[in-house]
């Protein structure tokens, strides 16, 4: 069983990757000048889009059908790499600026007044966002659901979309996407991230310690790249979720701890500012 390393595919994710890239580029062109930090934010945003393409359109997607650990790498990218990178780019103001003024007015009124947006606004709060994110990770790794994604492409696409968009909601409370202020204080943000990381650890440990293959699709394969067994493949997948899958969480926790313990910055003196 071999994998073509030159095989790139057209995944449905391109339906939002390409428009997002175009809007972000147009919004940047319509800005008068780049603010401080804009170049690295731009690099982060496009890096996040590239991560989606690598996860779903590169030969990694072909490997994922034959190796559980490769499939797990896809999930790690969609959950913990692409969303925070995109949010670091502060995409909303810049993409909004790319739209014609008439469109902005119409969309703003629709979002602000339409009743169907109420559930979406509720999901954007910290606790619902955390629950949706964690539930997505757990639910899609239940054997019945996981095997269903491997036998049905529409279900598989739904899984990937849910990972990514629940990731955006989750990481929006960790990374400041602008223009809204943070809703979580630094101590709460530490607990928020650590809680999600523990959910991933529990799943990872389960994959490592269970003495038999959990997922029928991978267990039924006669051979797999590298000649490894189905159980070894599963244990590597657990290791991927446990170690590389914890990198983004760990970085976020360390930054939050640092900001939490950072000495308070003195408030500027309005009289001095006025004099200047």
How many H-runs (helices) and E-runs (strands) does the chain carry? Answer: 16, 0
Residue 33: DSSP 8-state: S
User: pTM for the full model?
Assistant: 0.86
Greater confidence (70 vs 265) lies with 70
CA distance 149 to 155: 5
Phi then psi dihedrals of residue 264, to 5 deg? -60, 135
CA distance 238 to 242: 6
Phi then psi dihedrals of residue 255, to 5 deg? -65, -40
The per-residue pLDDT for 272 is 42
Question: At residue 275, does pLDDT exceed 50?
Answer: no
> Where in the sequence is the domain holding 118, given as residue range(s)?
14-264
Flag whether 8 is in a domain: no
Q: Closest Cα partner for 170 from 202, 188, 192?
A: 192
- Is 95 within 8 Å of 43 (Cβ atoms)? no
The per-residue pLDDT for 160 is 95
Flag whether 66 is in a domain: yes
- Is 225 within 8 Å of 3 (Cβ atoms)? yes
The domain total for the chain is: 1
Write the pLDDT tens digit of every residue in 97-145. Answer: 888 777 777 777 666 666 666 777 788 889 999 999 999 999 999 999 9
Flag whether 274 is in a domain: no
Flag whether 3 is in a domain: no
Question: At residue 1, does pLDDT exceed 60?
Answer: no
Flag whether 202 is in a domain: yes
Mean pLDDT of the chain: 86
Percent with pLDDT over 90 in the chain: 60
Flag whether 271 is in a domain: no
Contacts of 61 (CB under 8 A, 6+ apart): 9, 11, 55, 74
- Is 79 within 8 Å of 137 (Cβ atoms)? yes
Distances (CA, A) of 21 to 32, 74, 96: 19, 21, 13
CA distance 135 to 132: 5
- Is 68 within 8 Å of 224 (Cβ atoms)? no
Flag whether 5 is in a domain: no
The per-residue pLDDT for 264 is 63
Q: With the C-alpha atoms ordered 1, 139, 214, 81, is the resulting torsion angle positive or negative?
A: positive
Greater confidence (273 vs 239) lies with 239
Write the pLDDT tens digit of every residue in 175-218. Answer: 977 655 557 889 999 999 999 999 999 999 999 999 999 999 99
Question: At residue 273, does pLDDT exceed 90?
Answer: no
Flag whether 65 is in a domain: yes
The per-residue pLDDT for 167 is 96
Contacts of 72 (CB under 8 A, 6+ apart): 237, 240, 241, 245
Total count of residues recorded for the chain? 276
Write the pLDDT tens digit of every residue in 50-64. Answer: 999 999 999 998 899
């Amino acid at each position: 069983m071999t994998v073509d390393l030159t095989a790139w595919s057209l995944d449905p994710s391109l339906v939002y990757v390409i428009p997002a890239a175009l809007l972000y580029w147009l919004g940047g062109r319509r800005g008068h000048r780049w603010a401080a930090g804009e170049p690295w934010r731009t690099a982060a945003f496009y890096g996040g889009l590239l991560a989606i393409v690598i996860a779903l359109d590169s030969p990694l997607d072909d490997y994922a059908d034959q190796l559980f650990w490769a499939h797990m790498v896809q999930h790690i990218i969609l959950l913990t790499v692409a969303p925070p990178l995109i949010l670091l780019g502060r995409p909303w103001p810049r993409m909004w600026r790319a739209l014609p003024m008439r469109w902005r007015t119409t969309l703003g009124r629709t979002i602000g007044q339409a009743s169907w947006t109420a559930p979406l606004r509720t999901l954007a709060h910290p606790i619902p966002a955390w629950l949706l994110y964690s539930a997505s990770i757990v639910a899609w790794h239940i054997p019945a659901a996981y095997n269903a994604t491997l036998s049905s492409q529409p279900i598989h696409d739904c899984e990937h979309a849910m990972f990514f968009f629940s990731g955006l909601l989750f990481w929006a409370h960790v990374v400041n996407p602008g223009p809204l202020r943070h809703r979580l204080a630094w101590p709460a943000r530490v607990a928020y991230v650590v809680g999600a990381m523990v959910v991933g650890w529990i799943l990872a440990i389960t994959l490592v310690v269970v003495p038999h293959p959990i997922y029928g699709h991978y267990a039924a394969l006669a051979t797999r790249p590298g000649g490894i067994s189905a159980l070894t493949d599963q244990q590597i997948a657990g290791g991927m979720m446990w170690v590389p899958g914890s990198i983004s969480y760990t970085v976020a926790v360390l930054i939050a701890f640092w900001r939490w313990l950072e000495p308070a910055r003195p408030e500027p003196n309005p009289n001095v500012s006025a004099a200047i």
